[in-house]
Structure 1
Amino acid sequence: MYKKLLLLPICICLSFGLWAQVQIGTPTIEQRTIGMKKLEGYFPLYWDKDNGGLWLEIDKLDQEILYVQSLAGGVGSNDIGLDRGQLGKSRIVKFQRVGNKVLMVQPNYKYRANTKNKAEKQAVELAFAQSVLWGFQVAAVEGDKVLVEATRFFLRDAHGVVNRLKSKKQGHYRLDNTRSAFYLPRTKNFPKNTEVEATLTFTGNAQGKHIRSVAPTPGAVTVRQHYSLVALPDNKYKPRQFDPRAGFSRLSYVDYASSLNDRIVKNMIPRHRLKKKNPQAKISEPIKPIVYYIDPGVPEPIRSAMLEGGRWWNQAFEAAGYKNAFQVKVLPAGADPMDIRYNVVNWVHRSTRGWSYGATVTDPRTGEIMKGHVTLGSLRLRQDYLIAEGLLAPYANGTKVPEDMQKIALARLRQLVAHEIGHTLGLSHNFASSVNKRASVMDYPHPLVKLKGNGAIGWADVYDTNIGNWDKVAIKYGYSEFLPNTDEKKALNKILNDAIKQGLYYISDADARPMGGAHPLAHLWDNGTNAADELDRIMKVRAKALAKFSEKNIRMGEPMSHLEDVLVPVYLLHRYQVEAASKVVGGLYYTYALRGDQQQVTRIVPAKEQQKALKALLATLEPKALVLPEKTLKIIPPKAYGYSRNHENFRARTGVAFDPLAAAETAASITLKMLLHHERAARLVQYHARNTKNPGLQQVITQLIEATVKSNIKQGYPGEVQKVVNNTVLYQLMQLANHPKAATQVKAIATYELQGMKEWFKNKQTSVKDRATKAHYFFAASEIEKFQKGIIKHKFTAPSMPPAGSPIGGGFHPRNACGFKK
């Protein structure tokens, strides 16, 4: 025992000696950074030019900050989806030192305990996983500050470029460290934010056509990645509650400190911080305005149009009690659009047209928006030019571009800028705007073209010119400042109830999507207060444009084959209004009603309205709607040398030659896929069962078959169009009968109707003399028989896919593509 006690001081001394040596051997930050260039700021940086490394001084241990990663320089392909200015994930993190390591830890803010009880908070923190995003090695110590080498942290594929290229089947790539380095012009430091940018090169075997089309050497893809370490806002911001009727996006978390009488899930809206200088005044200037900056790379007259459209929002903030609260300027020279301090509108170029985005950097604790970040695709304006070329046939004089075309494109741009900025103010889409005299810029507007008295196509009211009445309501809800002692919940509810009394509707994304959508008032790219009436009207405009289609639709000196490019948006001018009218069939009126707000909750669309829409839809399948004039067919040759077909053209089955039957098949398939959607079919069955006055699925299919399959087949080209439509009807019915998610009774009805069609086809073969028509009926009957027997090896010819459509041309629409991103 005595010997053991004697050894104890010796062990303590040895341990102390070893500890002292470690401490003595660890240099100070000043010693370790000799010869390096220091960048003072929020987190001091040290640039080691001799080794191309970057060191990070961490003087805020155990303090929460915001960590944002983004893509400063993109790939340039809409199909790949790695755009310049693309925001990555935003996370709250904190640096924790453990011995000679520093861990970057991301707390879990999805699950919280809003309480002062530390034990209760810790119980939630330990219940759910956190994420350690990185581990650093301590290289130097100075008091409470540590120095770590951050080169590997910054020179890595944080944005997931490799996975994106792989998922898009463009090839297998890896980060090449020998071709990657820091980009010093955009590596800067400020009092409340540290900004680091890196040039990253990914090497590999390029397999996809998209990456080969945009990279100068497809085996080496170089982009720029940006990092921001940002001070979090103070605790003076007050979150605002979410209401599904208000038009704002929803942020939610679970609060385990909630009382048993309270809901455990808490909902709030994202919004910028905005306070009045004089809270007592009805109209007051803000303490700090919301300022957005336009990309200085935007040329005129586009820049002026963007400034004007962005400033529309000041109308909404004035309605909410603010003066000069929303401002739009050009980004100052030398300012970095990725800098967290700037709300920006980026003008982004891609090799093909695509979507625009409104994204934000948001404090997940409170919903406070710290940065609004808009990406505008520059080719959107070109699409408006293309639509105008198709409708106006403007080149009577050969090459002179009418002023109207530029006016149309700039009018669209103003609305688009306002729309995307709206997302960065916290707003969601409002796709019921078009039935309320364009009540919101948060809708997707189709160009409103009208026939004048003289039969000419007019563009006087093509797009909106101001902020909408619904937008003013939404901004009032999100940004109004109330006097002390005001019952905020009651005041907010009054804003929404007053809007409801005015007949303003709000229906957002999920309820407006075309495939399976049920709401008869909420649609993408539509116009008019009645979907069926507008479809009839747009078909007349389309017919007029197709009748006068000629070489005047392209400029003098352009290949005649360009006429097909111009023809596509004219021939499919009605595609989105077809989607709108389809949703009336089997449709359901409904609101985001709350108990006690006196709104009507649901109402099945009256049978008369459904029948009217069905009639309008069936008219789009008639030969007269799908046949192109012979004079048009004669002037569209195969693609000229040096040009090729692409996803903007009709999918031809005639080789290099233009295929008018493929165009007819494409248009017919748009109508039929919508009309015979399995979810719509299920509603038709149910609504008819509840009230036999409502059209049932069997009735709709019967009317469809009578209007197409059983109509007398004409001679020549119109007759071939009929056969194409009939085959498309047959295909879609087989799809419905075999759909894995279709209701049982839907499958039963579709299967029964196919059997009836088979018998009709067989009988019809004996009563017609034309061999081509006999062949059509024989083939249809045999296709049904093969389907019924389940012949596995047999593949039914699918209808031709539509050319790319959305945005405005349906085409591919990724969820939240044009939407709020947090």
Structure 2
Amino acid sequence: MILNKTSFFLAVLAGLFTTQVNAQTPKKFPTKTTKKVLADTLKKKNAADTTKGKELKSYADLLKKAKTANGLFKVHQVESDYYFEIPLKLMGKDFLVVNKISSVPLALNESGLNKGMNFENKVIRFSQNKLAKTIWVKTIVPQVESPEADAITRSVKDNFIGSVIESFKIEAYSPDSSAVVIKMNRVFDGTDKSFNDVFTDVGLGTAPKTALSAIEQIKSFPQNIVVRALLSTRVTEGQNSIPISMAVTTNVLLLPETPMKPRYADDRVGFFTTPRWYFSDTQHKMEKRELLTRWRMEPKAEDRARYLAGELVEPEKPIIFYIDPSTPPQWRQQIIAGVVDWQKAFEAAGFKNAIQAREVKDIADYDGDDIRYSEITYAASPKSNAMGPAVIDPRSGEILESDVIWWHNVMTSLQSWMRVQTGVIDEGARNNKFTDARMAHAIRFVSSHEVGHTLGLKHNMGASYSFPVDSLRSPSFTERMGGTASSIMDYARFNYVAQPEDKVTSITPKIGLYDKYAIAWGYRWLDVKDPHDEIPVLAKWIKDHENDPLYFYGEQQSSNVIDPRSQSEDLGDDAVKASRYGLLNLKRLIPQISTWAANPGEDYYQAGKLYMAAIFQWLTYAEHVTANIGGYYLEKPVAGDHKNAYTPVPKAMQIKALDYLKQEVMEVPDWLFNKDLLLKTFPIKDSPAGPYEYAPYNVRREFQYGVLYSLVSQERLLRMMEMEVLLGKDSVYTANELLKEVRETVFAKTQRGKTLSITDRMLQQNYVDVLLVSTDKMLEKITKTSLQDNKLKMQNQLQVCDFSNDGKSVVGAEEKSLRNIQVSSMSRTSDVAAAKRSELLQILTILEKNKGRGDDATKGHYLDLILRIRQSLRMN
């Protein structure tokens, strides 16, 4: 028996008392009688310690002044204290704690944190500790499954236990002893952070000030409890200390007793997923699967035979979105239309009336933070964006609730895109303010795109590649196929390819063939019990369309694009041709900017912003084209489909792309810098410090530099070398060919002894600096890192932008980037460093040979470049 500190002290004290009554008496051990007295004393003391502070109160006395709400379990409010009466039958059941932001101050609003966002969701279980008269709360990660009868299941239970995050004293039992009463204040009022740690999770890194935080309201419903609290803190930035208060709503949701039957993901169809590990006695290794995140879409039992016979039937439970009552009335019907547009996709899966959108009629009884409602939340914010997160049951991938977060200022982005991309062909998209009808039409497209995410769909950046460029100039094709791409999940904004004479009117993205196919693939109900039995059926559905580009899925990539077919903001199957059409429209647009964006009596601020948007569109075209150079067509082949995982972009296409860059970037076009417009306004870009006016020479230099740096980047050249090693230099476009062609273009006038203009000199300065900076960066000394540092780096790489295991989506990072293709290990010992240094030496030879030719500015320019190269290469 181990004594506690108090008992041990009493025991020692008792021993001293019995052995030191007479100081002259020799010390001796306690007698049997003394031992009995001591044991009785300790027994009484331990009993007192066990029950101290844990005496049960009378249910009637505890709650005699309570206001009680019935629901999932009873919630009792006694003045400012809140008690949960949890039935014992719910002990050990799975609950999902969902934390949502309900209101924020200006300081957080400006940073893009708004009402409707959820954070730190977790699965919990309540359990009773009868001996200690407490209720424990454990959090679990329900990622593991094994057959109950298998021997390995004992090990699974031991190796994947839940962690205790909270303990509550049992205040009382219900009169029939079927439930326990616990006081819950401290996990919601900011005292403890076990249920929500909002200030840490949003990146403030502070704790709530309990004196300034409190529970505002608790509601109880049949499947969930809703707790709203105001939490306050103070954030110090430099010399400033800023008070911050946020309202947070926490839902405690009882998860379904029987999880939805999962569906296993296939990388060739773009769904969000949640991981699942399977253990069994018969395995040779653990089975890893990714479960689709999707709604539970099942035919009613009485309709299943009709469904399997091919009839459209209504689902057991439709998906219903509610329109935030804060939404301006003029946008509501088009937002609703953007939701209902998905009904055609669900009909491809066999369901009618499967997805609906409704306005809220009874505002008094409506709470958008209640997890029973999926809401399109309208956030009054300067942020220009929208997002579609979902709350997931991680046991099965079931989407339990979704919220589209709609920031008010997303309309500024829509207006900018439409004016720049389609203003030339659509007179209604030219003014500083659109008509409500025009803006509502654009809002419908954004609504459909974000709802697609809430249905589980990832971006499909390869969908736009499925349309031939010239077909985007056809009124009949664009009307029949639905706008700009085969999927609304692409970022194929508006039709910048169509020319004024084409008379194309279907210029906005719509739900397309891929979307209907993906929803059918993910949602069509199959009458099987084991998800493994679905695999061959799902594979056949993919095989039926595997060579049709309209059904191609191209994952979203990072800024380092590898597959040029899957790019953001691009259109058509030929980036060079599409960009040239886009340039024709930009040439028409720029002379009109001051007319479109500055009415009589107005300043040119809006014109300057439109001008900057047009220049960024020019840069976007250059980036689309550049991605083809050193690019790979990436596939996810399976045995028998005769596809390759990696195919270099054809050499002819890469040369074609470089020709575009030589003409449109290395020779920055003068029409982009219209003198009449520049005398009225420079390009303007807003910032937290106010508008910045970008001078034209600065813009030319900065944007040209960025494209050149990307063109000869380490990653791009290494990818080209990988294909040279794999396929042979005669079969691919090589890095050396690229560098030689760029050098000869950049220094063509120098080789001919011509005097250089300021823009000629700018190009050479930019290119030499790109080579110097990128080479120095590649060869800089590598600092030592510990094994632990490397391990953490690898973990961070693997966890970026993924759905977490606890049933929530990561805010602001909705999906994985494309495959991790490693080409840059030990790059300082690769041929890239040698090739770039060789280029610098060859450029140095050209400069030395021509340093005395041209006017004074040209000669000074050559001497400056010679000095820079020699200093960088440490040459005398």
Match of 2:271 in 1: 248
Indicate yes or no: 2:522 matched with 1:497.
no
Structure-2 separation of matches of 1:715 and 1:104? 80
Quick one: which amino acid aligns to residue 847 of structure 2? F
Indicate which of 167, 171, 194 corresponds to 1:139.
Answer: 171
Unmatched segments (≥5 aa) in structure 1 = 213-217, 652-656, 792-822
Indicate which of 843, 859, 862 corresponds to 1:757.
Answer: 843
Indicate yes or no: 2:252 matched with 1:229.
yes
Residue pair 1:399, 1:555 contacting (<8 A) in 2 also:
no
Indicate yes or no: 2:668 matched with 1:646.
no
Match of 1:193 in 2: 224
Residue pair 2:383, 2:407 contacting (<8 A) in 1 also:
no
Quick one: which amino acid aligns to residue 244 of structure 2? V
Structure-2 separation of matches of 1:504 and 1:570? 30
Residue pair 2:421, 2:494 contacting (<8 A) in 1 also:
no
Quick one: which amino acid aligns to residue 445 of structure 1? A
Match of 2:798 in 1: none
Deviations 1:603-651 (A, max 9, x none): 2221111111121223221132575121111111799xxxx95279996
TM-score (ref. length: structure 1)? 0.83
Give the C-alpha shift of residue 81 in structure 1: 4.0
Indicate which of 611, 623, 629 corresponds to 2:674.
Answer: 629
Q: CA, structure 1 residues 302+24, in 2 after alignment: closer, same or farther (shift >3 Å)?
A: closer
Match of 1:698 in 2: 736
Give the C-alpha shift of residue 776 in structure 1: 2.5
Residue pair 2:498, 2:581 contacting (<8 A) in 1 also:
no
Match of 1:815 in 2: none
Give the C-alpha shift of residue 527 in structure 1: 0.7
Give runs of ≥4 in structure 1 deviating > 6 Å. 1-13, 19-24, 391-394, 396-400, 402-405, 647-651, 713-718
Indicate yes or no: 2:772 matched with 1:734.
yes
Structure-2 separation of matches of 1:20 and 1:149? 20
Indicate yes or no: 2:363 matched with 1:316.
no
Give the C-alpha shift of residue 192 in structure 1: 0.8
Match of 1:654 in 2: none
Structure-2 separation of matches of 1:674 and 1:650? 28
Give the C-alpha shift of residue 121 in structure 1: 3.3
Structure-2 separation of matches of 1:289 and 1:330? 16
Residue pair 1:393, 1:554 contacting (<8 A) in 2 also:
no
Structure-2 separation of matches of 1:497 and 1:750? 45
Indicate which of 707, 713, 716 corresponds to 1:671.
Answer: 707
* Matches for 1:381-780 after TM superposition, within 5 Å: 381-389=411-419, 401=431, 409-437=439-467, 438-450=485-497, 452-453=499-500, 460-465=505-510, 467-483=511-527, 488-509=534-555, 512-515=557-560, 517-621=561-665, 622-624=667-669, 627-636=672-681, 646=687, 658-689=694-725, 690-693=727-730, 694-711=732-749, 719-740=757-778, 741=824, 742=827, 744-769=830-855, 771-780=856-865
Which moved further from structure 2: 547-556 or 263-272? 547-556
Quick one: which amino acid aligns to residue 659 of structure 1? A
SS of aligned partner of 1:219: strand
Residue pair 1:390, 1:569 contacting (<8 A) in 2 also:
yes
Match of 2:85 in 1: 57
Indicate yes or no: 2:324 matched with 1:295.
yes
Deviations 1:214-249 (A, max 9, x none): xxxx72222111111111113162111111112212
Bigger-Rg structure (1/2): 2
Give the C-alpha shift of residue 492 in structure 1: 1.4
Percent of aligned positions that are identical:
20
Give the C-alpha shift of residue 193 in structure 1: 0.4
Residue pair 1:564, 1:649 contacting (<8 A) in 2 also:
no
Match of 2:19 in 1: none
Match of 1:329 in 2: 358
Q: CA, structure 1 residues 320+370, in 2 after alignment: closer, same or farther (shift >3 Å)?
A: same
Which moved further from structure 2: 567-576 or 134-143? 134-143
Match of 2:482 in 1: none
Quick one: which amino acid aligns to residue 684 of structure 1? M
Match of 1:183 in 2: 216
Residue pair 2:420, 2:586 contacting (<8 A) in 1 also:
no
Give the C-alpha shift of residue 274 in structure 1: 1.1
Structure-2 separation of matches of 1:300 and 1:714? 66
Match of 1:783 in 2: 868
Match of 1:345 in 2: 376
Structure-2 separation of matches of 1:687 and 1:275? 48
Structure-2 separation of matches of 1:20 and 1:532? 79
Deviations 1:394-425 (A, max 9, x none): 9x999995996655543432222222211221
Structure-1 separation of matches of 2:122 and 2:859? 66
Residue pair 1:37, 1:47 contacting (<8 A) in 2 also:
yes
Quick one: which amino acid aligns to residue 346 of structure 1? T
Match of 2:12 in 1: none
Which moved further from structure 2: 269-278 or 115-124? 115-124
Structure-2 separation of matches of 1:483 and 1:118? 26
TM-score (ref. length: structure 2)? 0.79
Structure-1 separation of matches of 2:771 and 2:179? 70
Quick one: which amino acid aligns to residue 499 of structure 1? H
Quick one: which amino acid aligns to residue 692 of structure 1? K
Quick one: which amino acid aligns to residue 389 of structure 2? A
Structure-1 separation of matches of 2:636 and 2:313? 33
Q: CA, structure 1 residues 200+12, in 2 after alignment: closer, same or farther (shift >3 Å)?
A: closer
Q: CA, structure 1 residues 78+480, in 2 after alignment: closer, same or farther (shift >3 Å)?
A: same
Give the C-alpha shift of residue 718 in structure 1: 9.9
Match of 1:154 in 2: 188
Give the C-alpha shift of residue 551 in structure 1: 4.3
Structure-2 separation of matches of 1:721 and 1:37? 78
Quick one: which amino acid aligns to residue 98 of structure 2? V
Q: CA, structure 1 residues 380+727, in 2 after alignment: closer, same or farther (shift >3 Å)?
A: farther
Q: CA, structure 1 residues 401+607, in 2 after alignment: closer, same or farther (shift >3 Å)?
A: closer
Structure-1 separation of matches of 2:447 and 2:636? 27
Structure-1 separation of matches of 2:244 and 2:368? 22
Indicate which of 375, 380, 383 corresponds to 2:405.
Answer: 375
Quick one: which amino acid aligns to residue 242 of structure 2? G
Quick one: which amino acid aligns to residue 685 of structure 1? M
Which moved further from structure 2: 680-689 or 113-122? 113-122
Residue pair 2:772, 2:872 contacting (<8 A) in 1 also:
yes
Structure-2 separation of matches of 1:615 and 1:708? 13
Give the C-alpha shift of residue 23 in structure 1: 10
Indicate which of 366, 374, 382 corresponds to 2:396.
Answer: 366
Give the C-alpha shift of residue 207 in structure 1: 4.7
Residue pair 1:449, 1:459 contacting (<8 A) in 2 also:
no
Q: CA, structure 1 residues 400+239, in 2 after alignment: closer, same or farther (shift >3 Å)?
A: closer
Unmatched segments (≥5 aa) in structure 2 = 1-30, 468-484, 779-823
Structure-2 separation of matches of 1:159 and 1:695? 54
Structure-2 separation of matches of 1:239 and 1:609? 43
Match of 1:795 in 2: none
Q: CA, structure 1 residues 480+15, in 2 after alignment: closer, same or farther (shift >3 Å)?
A: same
Structure-2 separation of matches of 1:409 and 1:161? 35
Q: CA, structure 1 residues 439+21, in 2 after alignment: closer, same or farther (shift >3 Å)?
A: closer
Q: CA, structure 1 residues 262+391, in 2 after alignment: closer, same or farther (shift >3 Å)?
A: closer
SS of aligned partner of 1:576: helix
Match of 1:92 in 2: 123
Quick one: which amino acid aligns to residue 691 of structure 1? G
Structure-2 separation of matches of 1:56 and 1:786? 74
Q: CA, structure 1 residues 458+713, in 2 after alignment: closer, same or farther (shift >3 Å)?
A: farther
